[in-house]
Amino acid sequence: MFRYLLLLGTDEEREFFQFIYQEYRQEMFCIARAILKNEADAEDMVHETFLILTDHLNKIMDSESYKVRDYIMTTVRHRCFNLYRKRQIQECSGLEEWETGEILEKGPDTILEETELQELVTGLLKGLKSPYGEVLTLQYYHELSVQEIAEEMDTTPDNVRHISMRARKKLQGVLKERGLWDEREGVRI
């Protein structure tokens, strides 16, 4: 905490920062770990959030306590989802994700088709304009609820449902254009 305090200019800022550090650090870490599923990454995101807070302390110092908490938790969530999305984009789906039992049960051809389909859909999601790709990624890859996505994107659950519906239609249209959509069977390779 000492490193953060060196970044602050006044005793009032240092005192307020010490309060929020002690009050919210554990909750921030729990949120980050729940999103990232990794303690080291969670610690990094909490650290980055505190660095951001040192720059924006004047915005929240005079706010009501629930607004301070909301601001801090929203900031840490955004940092975590940004890291998660960045890593998701960088990941390359491959056979190493499949367990040996699954390969034997499904057969290598089926596994290859499913892997190709995952890579294709991931690529298509990246190509969708914002917020369409973002909503589908949060919904299907990160398995967030409509309410969680609405909170993350600072919008209403109804808006998220509408965006999701339009995004699925756009994705379906792209798949049809490429000859990868069958009306009876859905996606095919």
Residue 35 inside a domain? The answer is yes
Residue 189 inside a domain? The answer is no
| Residues 6-51 pLDDT 10s | 666 778 887 888 888 889 999 999 989 988 888 999 999 999 888 8
pLDDT surpassing 70 at residue 189? no
Q: Are residue 82 and residue 125 in the same domain, yes or no? A: no
Q: Residues near 155 by Cβ (< 8 Å), separated by ≥ 6?
A: none
Q: Are residue 58 and residue 20 in the same domain, yes or no? A: yes
pLDDT band at 96 (very low <50, low <70, confident <90, very high): very low
Q: Are residue 128 and residue 76 in the same domain, yes or no? A: no
Dihedral pair phi/psi, residue 126, rounded to 5°: -65, -30
Please report, for the domain that includes residue 151, its CATH number: 1.10.10.10
Which of the listed residues 55, 89, 123 is the one where a domain comes to its end?
A: 89
| Residues 130-180 pLDDT 10s | 788 888 888 877 788 888 888 877 889 999 999 989 988 888 887 777 776
| Residues 51-81 pLDDT 10s | 888 877 777 877 787 788 888 888 898 888 8
